[in-house]
Amino acid sequence: MNVTIRGQTRHFRTVTFDAARNSVLLIEQRLLPHEFKIVATKDFQETAAAIRDMVVRGAGAIGATAAYGLAQGARAFRGNDTKKFSAHTENVFHVLKSARPTAVDPVNAMLDVRREMARGRSVAEKQSLALAAAEEFANEDVEHCEAIGRHGQKLIRNGARVLTHCNAGWLAFVDIGTATAPMYAAQAAGKKFHVWCDETRPRSQGATLTAWELAQQKIPHQIIADNAAGHLMQRGKVDLVIVGSDRTLGRTGEVTNKIGTYTKAVLAARHKIPFYVAIPLSTIDWNLKSGFQIPIEERSENEVLGAWGVLENGKMKNGKRAYVRVANPTSGACNPGFDVTPPDLITGIITPAGIFRPKNLWKHRKKLGFNG
């Protein structure tokens, strides 16, 4: 999407590849929203480090980064020995995979690349196929998000007030995003609307990343404390909720997403406000039979006990935010990272293949990429 730097507006993807320099180009997300910077990794180890150290985050974005990283590693190989090449790329694969061991997207993306590479006969051919496959993965990620936007923008009427939680925006994908895709498409269709941007404590991805995206895209928005959504709904100031999902159960329609999503869904149901979840097909889990089987990550207490930001001068120090301890110093915290929203609270799941009632995902599983 667009970023404006010193008055110049340019289009950027979250992840791209510089073939001449054999380098993965990433928006350095840890500096956002305070600084915008593109970093170029010089080899696959640096790419793995960027995934591990959260320079890049979000399902689609780390998938594409890993795919490019595998191509980058493959292309760095010198020589014609396909056996040695194969051993080398296996090592690259494992280094990149272990950068974020619990994520599924990097592995799936790299399996695509590896499958394509296998078709090549020479090292040079394999190297070229690897890059083409990585490019294809990234382009497909964008196309899927575009399709979500096409389906979802119909839900945003002119003058609507849309609430979103956390960041399922273009920074989490290669471009466009999922929960934000209907907004960007509605804007492109000339609609005017206002976005309520949940702060999303404790990590504040709504106040930092989503707000930054919307500001760059010039979409009118205001950040609200997570506590304020109920009040705004009660006063008739929210027309629609769209959020993303980390994992959606194909068999039950239950949606795992950032902590606080469930609360917004309960509030929306009480006020009869449509509640939509926008997802790429890759986040549908066709195996689990109950949301209670989903492990809920317990995260660091420090996230709840304080906050990261910039001090008076608005600048980071050595590329780092300052941490302030807000809470009582002798108290601890409980910090579940995600929650599970049951299907009865969800109006529809917006996918690249169309919008479905959550209970109907299983019925439409073939269309939704299930091959079991």
Which residues would be at the binding site for a second copy (CB under 8 A)? Answer: 32-34, 196-197, 199-202, 204, 207-208, 211-212, 214-215, 221-232, 234, 258-260, 262-263, 266-267, 270, 296, 303-312, 314, 321-336, 339-340
Residues in CB range of 17: below 8 A, 6 or more apart: 23, 24, 25, 68, 71, 72, 131, 134, 135, 138
Where on the phi/psi map is residue 361: left (φ > 0), alpha (ψ -120 to 50), or beta? Answer: alpha
Residue 84 or 231 having the CB closest to a second copy: 231
CB 332 to a second copy: min, Å = 6
Strand duo 221-224 + 194-198: pairing: parallel
By the 8 A CB rule, do 129 and 118 touch?
Answer: no
* Residue 210: DSSP 8-state: I
Residue 24 or 265 having the CB closest to a second copy: 265
Residue 104 or 266 having the CB closest to a second copy: 266
Q: Specify which residues 248 forms β-bridges with.
A: 255, 284
Euclidean distance between CA atoms 293 and 310, whole angstroms: 39
Catalytic residues: 246
Residue 186 or 229 having the CB closest to a second copy: 229
* Bond from prior residue into 33 cis (ω within 30 degrees of 0): yes
CB 212 to a second copy: min, Å = 4
CB 203 to a second copy: min, Å = 9
CB 152 to a second copy: min, Å = 22
CB 320 to a second copy: min, Å = 12
Of 266, 267, 259, nearest to 340 by C-alpha is 259
Residue 189 or 225 having the CB closest to a second copy: 225
Euclidean distance between CA atoms 281 and 173, whole angstroms: 13
By the 8 A CB rule, do 276 and 350 touch?
Answer: yes
CB 297 to a second copy: min, Å = 12
Residues in CB range of 312: below 8 A, 6 or more apart: none
DSSP SS3 for 191:
coil
Residue 107 or 327 having the CB closest to a second copy: 327
Cα–Cα–Cα angle for 319, 325, 330, rounded to 5 degrees: 150
